[in-house]
A and B are shown apart, each in its own frame.
Chain A
């Protein structure tokens, strides 16, 4: 696999075409305002990382992008097509362009790992057993899971479940993949392999990626741009370097893991790595 060194990547978003455009997105759950006018544009082929403290609405934003939640106000366009207010059945065509890695994998617990990964292919009309087997085996071997194909999700570890879910998300080669906390709860080695896979998907297939994470090391590895979500709005939007060099105290507090009362406790940075520059991994 390639090094996660960003300098080796060849972004395919040079034309700056917007694939996802979010305007004035507002969402209230109960009495709590979760999103309070989010504006965000994501270019084709770029990797946008969304960071923010727990409970700031990152996953809610992600779910809006794929139509799993309906906003109170605002607009979301995917490939220029408005998805807010589109009936569930008409969303199917739009969703087929998108793969989602859920926070806990969301594997179907009544199916084996291989059946889970084969499911999107079967639903897209592929019935040939040999083709299914080849593609599933390839996807699972990318994740190092070929030996666990016949196991039920309950019988594999959390990290394996997440990798199996990632295999399921990428098997139809979607144009855009949304990752909800792809490295949370994983050991550093597996986290690194997932970061590399995100980069590989972008480099080889020009996949647009939106990654919600707390893992600042991942931010440095994979992000083309970073959006910092705070109090329901995009507080900061820029490159990882701009984020690192930001003089804004709130941003610095977040990336250094300093709480707002300044006692140094966790403010949402789960691994406590902060923004220590990460040297490229050897091949």
Chain B
């Protein structure tokens, strides 16, 4: 019993310490543009690297998710004779859940891992110490450009994923299952409004913050050489992905309060 309590206490302590470190990094990040130096060229480079570099991943993920979701929905809806509603279901799901979540998971794998590995390698090879002794704050130089780059890019990537998901679903339904195009379009327009897309983009913005915080923190705290960087990178992807899924649940509940699904 004592051992169980001890283990629970230790786990809680480690968890709280981790959250404290994330909070501290968040504070430094928020203060950085006001008391540190903003390097616009680095932000631009990150936007290109994150935003432009993630195009293929996001388009493929969005398109195939939309297509397969449309196909599965059609197979079941066909039994009830409501196959024309597939468009509405796919567009709502893509806007509110699948688009932002799958984009965030893909980006955490591609961008989060890269952030943790790059910063972690700089940490274990004393490059971050070199920055510090030259009077450059690591958060200003390494974290802020990545954060701005991802916070700017992610909502656009989510919108792109949603767009390609709905487009693929439309192609699947209209050309694959011969649902009349007018019906499909009518249901999509009738059941999807700007707020649904906004929800996806808001989620994308929040997930971007989570991915940056978790990944940069893992990089900045890496130790023990290549093994440490490897572990940090893995942890960054795992923690960021779990955080995205958990936050998505609460965000969905919260945002659904603001715009209840099915109200309109």
Q: Do A and B come from one complex?
A: yes
Contacting residues, chain B, for A89 (C-beta < 8 A): 35-36, 137
* Residues of A93-136 contacting chain B, CB below 8 A: 93, 95-96, 98-100, 102-104, 106-109, 119-120, 123
Interface residue ranges, A against B (CB under 8 Å): 63, 66-68, 88-89, 91-93, 95-96, 98-100, 102-104, 106-109, 119-120, 123
Q: Is the CB–CB distance between B135 and A96 below 8 Å? A: yes
A102 to B127 Cα, complex, angstroms: 9
A123 to B133 Cα, complex, angstroms: 12
Contacting residues, chain A, for B137 (C-beta < 8 A): 88-89, 92
Q: A91-B132, A100-B133, A109-B121 are in contact. List 7 more A-B contacts (CB 8 A).
A: A66-B133, A68-B133, A98-B133, A102-B129, A106-B125, A106-B130, A119-B134
Contacting residues, chain B, for A67 (C-beta < 8 A): 132
Q: Is the CB–CB distance between A106 and B135 below 8 Å? A: no
The number of inter-chain residue pairs (CB within 8 angstroms) is 52
Q: Is the CB–CB distance between B125 and A123 below 8 Å? A: no
A104 to B125 Cα, complex, angstroms: 8
A96 to chain B, nearest CB (A): 5
Given the contacts A88-B137, A95-B134, A103 and B36 also touching, CB distance less than 8 Å:
no
Q: Is the CB–CB distance between B134 and A120 below 8 Å? A: yes
A106 to B126 Cα, complex, angstroms: 5
B31 to chain A, nearest CB (A): 9
The answer to whether B136 has its CB under 8 Å from any CB of chain A is: yes
A108 to B134 Cα, complex, angstroms: 12
Interface residue ranges, B against A (CB under 8 Å): 35-36, 121-122, 125-127, 129-130, 132-137
A96 to B137 Cα, complex, angstroms: 13
> Mind listing 26 A-B residue pairs with CB under 8 Å?
A66-B133, A68-B129, A68-B132, A68-B133, A88-B132, A89-B35, A91-B135, A95-B132, A95-B133, A95-B135, A96-B134, A99-B133, A100-B129, A100-B133, A102-B126, A104-B126, A106-B125, A106-B127, A106-B129, A107-B130, A108-B122, A108-B127, A109-B121, A109-B125, A123-B135, A123-B136
Contacting residues, chain A, for B133 (C-beta < 8 A): 66, 68, 95, 98-100
Partner of A109, one of B127, B129, B132: B127
Decide if the interface of chain A is mainly helix, strand, loop or mixed.
mixed
Contacting residues, chain B, for A107 (C-beta < 8 A): 127, 130
Closest B residue, CB atoms, query A120: B134
B115 to chain A, nearest CB (A): 13
B126 to chain A, nearest CB (A): 4
A98 to B36 Cα, complex, angstroms: 20
Contacting residues, chain A, for B135 (C-beta < 8 A): 91-93, 95-96, 123
Contacting residues, chain A, for B132 (C-beta < 8 A): 67-68, 88, 91, 95
A119 to B135 Cα, complex, angstroms: 11
A88 to B141 Cα, complex, angstroms: 14
Contacting residues, chain A, for B36 (C-beta < 8 A): 89
A91 to B137 Cα, complex, angstroms: 10
A68 to B134 Cα, complex, angstroms: 11
A100 to B128 Cα, complex, angstroms: 13
Contacting residues, chain B, for A119 (C-beta < 8 A): 134
A106 to B127 Cα, complex, angstroms: 5
Contacting residues, chain A, for B127 (C-beta < 8 A): 106-109
